[in-house]
């Protein structure tokens, strides 16, 4: 049997990071590899809804490899700071991703597949087709959920025709009405009252190095921004503590209304970094907040203009 490899998505995993690992691991095992899908964190509210709905087992949670394997496969990320803490100690043999490539290098050649689509599970769906491997209904449900999550039910500007085609096919295999199920699923992820503000700013957060500046961008989905901002003082206090502890030059919390596709940002950081944010996003930060109408995608609408301005 081939040497075992672990397959995983990024830290603070969302539905796609975990489910893409599950789907890719299944595919790779069918193609002769020996892999196990793992997760770099516990499920968020939306992901828990998905795994309960499809009666799927959530992968084992790890934060480091700790010598368990020598080789790994990455999905839904490539940047080192978003991966396991000891990523430098293992060989990355495969990457399937739909993000920018940054802060990533390997000593040996690897299989790398990246496409500018809305969801990495869309790419994995293509790979199932190319290899003529049948997708089990349960995995199809997880993959469909990933596309719904990443594209906000095909409303995000990251959505492509391939995502639409993949979602329709996967929903058919899974036996779901993706529009009715999708809305229920997205709403499940917006029940924020049970979470502390600290948990919310950690739940879907990614770190970026932008020209030597340490930038942290977190995102929470809601159906009522004003209601979420009732805890604004706590958000600000927790973010300031995070900046102090981790040396972030800028922390952006995106509070996104999934029904109207608008966002309010809570922006805390160095004066110069806040000014850069205002210029990049063409907005004004007042009382730590900025209005970002039409912004729903961190990957496409926030990271690129911000990175270009730093």
Domain extent listing, the chain: 5-190, 197-308
- How many whole angstroms separate alpha carbon 291 and alpha carbon 299? 18
Residue labelled with tokens 């990495």 = 120
Question: In this structure, what token pair is assigned to residue 107?
Answer: 């000593």
- How many whole angstroms separate alpha carbon 84 and alpha carbon 61? 11
pLDDT at residue 94, rounded to an integer: 98
- How many whole angstroms separate alpha carbon 171 and alpha carbon 16? 15
Beta partners for 94? 73, 111
pLDDT at residue 194, rounded to an integer: 86
Where are the strands (E) in 20-89, listed by range? 34-39, 60-61, 71-75
Q: Pairing relation of β-strands 205-210 and 213-222?
A: antiparallel
DSSP reduced 3-state for 213: strand
- How many whole angstroms separate alpha carbon 38 and alpha carbon 44? 15
Residues whose CB is less than 8 angstroms from the CB of residue 127 and which lie 6 or more positions away in sequence, other chains included: 24, 27, 96, 113
Fold classified for 197-308: Diaminopimelate Epimerase; Chain A, domain 1 (3.10.310)
Domain 5-190 in CATH 3.40.50.720: no
Q: For residues 19 and 141, is the Cβ–Cβ distance under 8 A?
A: no
The whole-model pTM stands at: 0.90
Quick one: DSSP state of residue 78? -
Where are the strands (E) in 197-283, listed by range? 205-210, 213-222, 250-257, 262-269
Q: For residues 73 and 35, is the Cβ–Cβ distance under 8 A?
A: yes
Q: Tens digit of pLDDT per residue, the chain (310 long)?
A: 899 999 999 999 999 999 999 999 999 999 999 999 999 999 999 999 999 999 999 999 999 999 999 999 999 999 999 999 999 999 999 999 999 999 999 999 999 999 999 999 999 999 999 999 999 999 999 999 999 999 999 999 999 999 999 999 999 999 999 999 999 999 999 989 889 999 999 989 999 999 999 999 999 999 899 999 999 999 999 999 999 999 999 999 999 998 899 999 999 999 999 999 999 999 999 999 999 999 999 999 999 999 999 9
Beta partners for 262? 257
| CA 156 to chain centroid | 14
């Amino acid at each position: 049997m081939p040497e075992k490899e672990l397959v995983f998505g990024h830290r603070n995993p969302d539905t796609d990071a975990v489910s893409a690992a599950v789907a890719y691991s299944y595919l790779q095992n069918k193609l002769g590899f020996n892999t196990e899908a793992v997760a770099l964190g516990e499920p968020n509210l939306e992901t828990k809804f998905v795994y309960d709905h499809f009666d799927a087992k959530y992968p084992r949670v790890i934060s480091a490899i700790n010598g368990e394997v020598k080789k790994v496969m990455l999905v839904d990320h490539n940047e080192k700071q978003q991966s396991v803490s000891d990523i430098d100690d293992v060989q990355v043999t495969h990457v399937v991703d739909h993000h920018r490539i940054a802060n990533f290098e390997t000593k040996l050649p690897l299989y790398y597949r990246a496409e500018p689509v809305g969801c990495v599970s869309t790419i994995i769906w293509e790979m199932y087709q190319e290899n003529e491997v049948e997708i089990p209904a349960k995995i199809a449900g997880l993959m469909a959920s990933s596309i719904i999550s990443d594209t906000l039910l095909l409303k995000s500007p990251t959505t492509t025709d391939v995502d639409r085609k993949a979602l329709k096919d996967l929903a058919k295999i899974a036996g779901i009405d993706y529009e009715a199920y999708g809305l229920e699923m997205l709403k499940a992820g917006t029940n924020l009252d049970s979470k502390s503000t600290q948990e919310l700013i950690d739940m879907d957060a990614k770190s970026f190095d932008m020209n030597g500046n340490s930038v942290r961008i977190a995102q929470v989905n809601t159906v009522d921004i004003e209601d979420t901002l009732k805890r604004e003082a706590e958000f600000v206090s927790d973010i300031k503590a995070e900046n102090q502890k981790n040396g972030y030059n800028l922390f952006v919390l995106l509070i996104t209304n999934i029904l109207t596709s608008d966002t309010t940002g809570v922006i805390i950081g160095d004066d110069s970094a806040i000014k850069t944010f205002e210029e990049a996003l063409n907005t004004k930060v007042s009382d730590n907040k900025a209005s970002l109408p039409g912004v729903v995608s961190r990957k496409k609408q926030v990271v690129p203009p911000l990175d270009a301005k730093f």
